[in-house]
């Protein structure tokens, strides 16, 4: 569920995204004057600075100017909403056109403020209503996601039920990994969970992590243990269930979505390694033949 603090009790961590120093100072002063909100305010001037601010301060609410040095217009709202869905969002605009506000709400903002027209009481009321809307949407999304998650994981789990024991044994001469090597299964699941975290961090904060290398190493160990596709599915399903069990709805959804990509990549690496074992490595053969040819010259 939502992790926002109850209104009027705990400190609300607010990030102002505004490149105009005067407007930023005014907002900070108004937030400090709010009667029913206790705010801890952070400021950045650019869209690119949001990720670092959220990572450092665990932001609850973003007040976002639509015109920034590195982004402008409704696309700014869409970018923030996609990358940081767990944070409540109030848009700040100097445009009085109702269509702009309507578009901002349509793509995910909880509310909006027009520069020069927002006194402290209006700012406080907008933030409070925006937070409540965000909480309500998170509860609705959580219920929908729970149904989708159970359906998706249930479908995957059916592929790794007892019949898999017979199929895996026939194909690879071994019991499922969880049964045959429970300690190895637990260790690989933990490593896969860490890889999911890295993949999600890479997507959210636009940082580079060696995701492919991690998945290839996991696939190599699975190959050594003569694991099959159903073992990969069981490994993935178990990891996703663990990671999403107590996660906020937005993060749980992001884990499931990113997991769809990582499990496919892991399956691809596993298939490639079995193909090399079955048919040999053509590149290695060609390299060896080339070396012989060079030696004969």
Residue 39 CA to residue 133 CA, distance in Å, equals 19
**Structure confidence at residue 144 (pLDDT):** 65
| Amino acid 45: pLDDT | 95
- 149 or 23, higher pLDDT: 23
pTM: 0.56
Asked, colleague to colleague, whether 12-135 and 159-283 share their fold, the answer is: no
Antiparallel, parallel or unpaired: β 67-68 and 39-44: unpaired
pLDDT-derived band at 137 (thresholds 50, 70, 90) equals confident
User: pLDDT (tens digit, 9 = 90+) per residue, 216-238?
Assistant: 999 999 999 988 888 898 899 88
- Is residue 58 within 8 A of residue 87, CB to CB? The reply is no
Q: What is the pLDDT of residues 83-93, one digit of tens each?
A: 888 899 999 98
Rounded CA-CA distance 262/140 in Å is 27
Find out if CATH 3.40.50.2300 is the number for domain 12-135: yes
Per the prediction, the chain carries an average pLDDT of 81
pLDDT tens digit sequence for 57-74? 889 999 999 999 999 889
pLDDT of residue 179: 85
Q: How confident is the model at residue 126 (pLDDT cuts 50, 70, 90)?
A: very high
Which of 216, 186, 214, 211 has the alpha carbon at shortest distance from 200?
A: 211
pLDDT of residue 147: 67
What single-letter DSSP state applies at residue 61?
Answer: E
Residue 275 reports pLDDT greater than 60: yes
Task: Pick 206 or 151 by higher pLDDT.
Answer: 206
pLDDT at 118: 83
The lowest-confidence range among 94-103, 124-133, 142-151 is 142-151
Stretch among 119-128, 133-142, 167-176 having the lowest mean pLDDT: 167-176
CATH of domain 159-283: 1.10.1240
Here the tokens at position 1 are: 């569920």
pLDDT for 85: 85
Task: Identify which has the larger pLDDT, 19 or 96.
Answer: 19
**First-to-last C-alpha distance (Å) of the chain:** 71
Domain coordinates of the chain in residue numbers?
Answer: 12-135, 159-283
Among 214, 238, 222, 233, smallest CA distance to 270 is for: 222
| DSSP states of 198-211 | HHHHHHHH-----H
Residue 164 has pLDDT above 70, yes or no: no
Q: Using CB atoms within 10 A of its CB, is residue 252 exposed (0-12), middle (13-18) or buried (19+)?
A: buried
**pLDDT value at 10 more than 90:** no
Helix (H) or strand (E) holding 53: helix 50-57
CB-based contact 12:39 (threshold 8 Å):
yes
Phi-psi region of 108 (alpha: psi -120 to 50; beta: other; left: phi over 0): left
Confidence bin at 47 (pLDDT 50/70/90): very high
């Amino acid at each position: 569920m939502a992790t926002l603090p109850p209104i009027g009790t705990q400190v609300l961590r607010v990030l102002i995204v505004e490149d105009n120093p005067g407007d930023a100072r005014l907002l900070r002063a108004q937030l400090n004057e709010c009667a029913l909100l206790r705010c801890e305010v952070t400021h950045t001037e650019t869209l690119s600075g949001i990720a670092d601010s959220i990572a450092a301060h665990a932001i609850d609410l973003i007040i976002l100017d639509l015109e920034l040095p590195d982004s402008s217009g409704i696309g700014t709202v869409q970018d923030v909403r996609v990358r940081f869905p767990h944070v409540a969002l109030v848009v700040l605009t100097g445009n009085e056109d109702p269509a702009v506000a309507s578009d901002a709400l349509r793509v995910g903002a909880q509310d909006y403020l027009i520069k020069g027209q927002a006194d402290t009481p209006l700012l406080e009321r907008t933030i409070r209503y925006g937070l409540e809307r965000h909480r309500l949407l998170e509860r609705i999304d959580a219920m929908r996601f729970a149904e989708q998650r159970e359906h998706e994981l249930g479908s995957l789990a059916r592929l790794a039920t007892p019949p898999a024991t017979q199929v895996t044994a026939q194909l690879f001469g071994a019991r499922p990994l969880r049964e045959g090597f429970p300690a190895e299964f637990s260790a690989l699941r933990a490593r896969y969970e860490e890889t999911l975290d890295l993949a999600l961090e890479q997507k959210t904060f636009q940082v580079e992590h060696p995701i492919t290398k991690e998945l290839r190493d996991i696939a190599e160990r699975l190959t050594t243990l003569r694991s099959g596709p159903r073992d990969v599915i069981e490994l993935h399903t178990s990891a996703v269930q663990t990671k999403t069990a107590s996660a906020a709805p937005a993060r749980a959804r992001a884990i499931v979505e990113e997991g769809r990509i990582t499990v496919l990549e892991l399956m691809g690496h596993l298939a490639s390694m079995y193909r090399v074992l079955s048919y040999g490595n053509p590149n290695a053969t060609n390299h060896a033949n080339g070396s012989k040819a060079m030696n004969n010259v």
